[in-house]
């Protein structure tokens, strides 16, 4: 795993945005795998600024997001579709038809997961996948377990994740209990993976990942099996 240590959150965000912009310049019709959560917000702001300046274009870019709560409407301000529109898609020249987030309103969530898995396959995989990391080591919503699923699937969120994400909701009771998420195999279809981590709360998660062991009870450790992973983190994550 390559590691880039940054002095602060702003630097981490800019380094990640630069990596994405270089790919977009080299391959204007690239497929970007995107994450939500607090960690990539600065990177999205930096990409939006680059686009405003005319340094990059999203005109021919396709995006696939890692996950979505279930059930949830896209108009709900806690949905990941809403987050992506606000943080990035409404701020750049992307064709919304080329932005993909699992459908939190699907009547048949299992069929929706199948459709999503096929979509990622049909796109030929992902050129660059951005990941955050959960305090409990989850990636996407692949939660710690004795078994991990390869394909996009419906998952129950753990109490730890519900508690961590409740900061965005009125209360923990309002956090949906389930989600649709890419599986480890879907994520591994990415040619390149970039993991972002910032802040002391990610210390344990990152140090377990860097131990170079593989443990399904700590899903991020699976990333040691992928040939092209870069961790971009702030110094406090490693202190």
Minimum distance from CB of 54 to ligand F6R (Å)?
A: 29
Nearer to ligand F6R, 62 or 87 (CB): 87
Minimum distance from CB of 159 to ligand F6R (Å)?
A: 14
Minimum distance from CB of 132 to ligand F6R (Å)?
A: 2
Nearer to ligand F6R, 81 or 92 (CB): 81
| Cβ neighbours for 107, distance < 8 A, ≥ 6 positions apart | none
d(C-alpha 95, C-alpha 218), whole Å:
36
Ramachandran angles phi, psi of 53, nearest 5°: -75, -10
* Catalytic residue list: 67, 136, 138, 143
d(C-alpha 214, C-alpha 127), whole Å:
24
Categorise residue 76: left if φ over 0, alpha if ψ from -120 to 50, beta otherwise. Answer: beta
Residue 224 tokens read as 């040691």
Nearer to ligand F6R, 49 or 160 (CB): 160
Residue 93 tokens read as 């020249």
Please identify the residue of the shown chain whose CB is closest to the bound ligand F6R.
132
Ramachandran angles phi, psi of 120, nearest 5°: -65, -40
Residue 188 tokens read as 């591994």
Minimum distance from CB of 82 to ligand F6R (Å)?
A: 13
Strand pairing partners for 192? 128
Nearer to ligand F6R, 62 or 198 (CB): 198
Nearer to ligand F6R, 67 or 112 (CB): 67
| Cβ neighbours for 68, distance < 8 A, ≥ 6 positions apart | 79, 80, 81, 101, 102, 103, 104, 179, 180
Categorise residue 124: left if φ over 0, alpha if ψ from -120 to 50, beta otherwise. Answer: left
d(C-alpha 224, C-alpha 165), whole Å:
26
Footprint of ligand F6R (CB under 6 A): 35-39, 66-67, 132-134, 138-141
Strand pairing partners for 183? none
């Amino acid at each position: 795993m390559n590691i880039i240590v940054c002095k602060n959150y702003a630097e981490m965000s800019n380094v990640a945005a630069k990596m994405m912009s270089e790919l977009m310049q080299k391959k204007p019709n690239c497929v970007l795998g995107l994450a939500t959560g607090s960690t990539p917000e600065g990177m999205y702001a930096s990409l939006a600024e680059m686009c405003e300046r005319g340094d990059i274009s999203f005109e021919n870019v396709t995006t696939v997001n890692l996950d979505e709560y279930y059930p949830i409407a896209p108009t709900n301000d806690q949905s990941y579709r809403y987050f992506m529109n606000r943080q990035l898609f409404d701020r750049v020249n992307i064709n919304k038809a080329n932005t993909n987030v699992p459908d939190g309103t699907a009547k048949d969530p299992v069929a929706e997961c199948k459709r999503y898995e096929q979509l990622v396959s049909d796109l030929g995989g992902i050129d660059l996948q951005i990941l955050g990391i959960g305090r409990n080591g989850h990636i996407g919503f692949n939660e710690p377990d004795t078994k991990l699923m390869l394909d996009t699937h419906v998952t129950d969120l753990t109490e730890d994740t519900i508690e961590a994400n409740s900061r965005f909701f009125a209360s923990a009771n309002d956090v949906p209990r389930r989600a649709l998420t890419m599986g480890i195999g879907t994520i591994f279809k990415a040619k390149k993976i970039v993991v972002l981590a910032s802040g002391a709360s990610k210390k344990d998660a990152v140090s377990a990942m860097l131990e170079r062991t593989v443990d399904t009870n700590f899903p991020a450790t699976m990333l040691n099996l992928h040939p092209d992973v870069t961790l971009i983190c702030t110094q406090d994550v490693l202190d």
